Amino acid sequence: TFLANALLKARHASARARLAALADDSGLEVDALGGRPGVESARYAHPGASDTENLERLLDELAAVPSPERRARYQCVIVLVRGADDPQPLIARGSWQGHIATSPRGLGGFGYDPVFVPEGSARTAAELDPAEKNAVSHRGQALRELIAMLGQQGYIAAP
């Protein structure tokens, strides 16, 4: 799961550094593909695949799927551990709903951004400017949630 991966990364980093550590795991889930690519998003085509290869595999698998059935979402889980064995890590989540376009558009972003069309938008994530994207993206949501948690627990001034 995204949570298990983020927790594993954060605990490993904390153990190595002997400090608090922050890690995330993110990916794209497509309903018509049973939630794939999911946690395999970065290596969907094959281990070490480029963004282009992953994108091509996704579009190939969705070629016969009509637009109304191409619902998808980006997911992000951010974990903060205060030590490698932190029994209560801070866990923040974000989810960005949308659908998969039939062909890539836009030059910004990375990964699946050229085919991910956010709900309520006609543009792909790759066509959004960075500030626009960060205001609504799964990572932006999760980061804002983590900042709020840090404020509630007195680690930082409440936003």
Kindly list the catalytic residues.
25
Cα–Cα distance for residue pair 52/41, rounded to 1 Å: 12
Straight-line distance from the first to the last Cα atom of the chain, in angstroms, rounded to the nearest whole number: 30
For the stretch 9-20, what's the b/e string if a residue is b when 16 or more beta carbons lie within 10 angstroms of its beta carbon? bbbebbeeeeeb
Residue with tokens 């983020």: 6
Interacting residues of 113 by C-beta distance below 8 A, sequence separation 6+: 106, 124, 125, 126
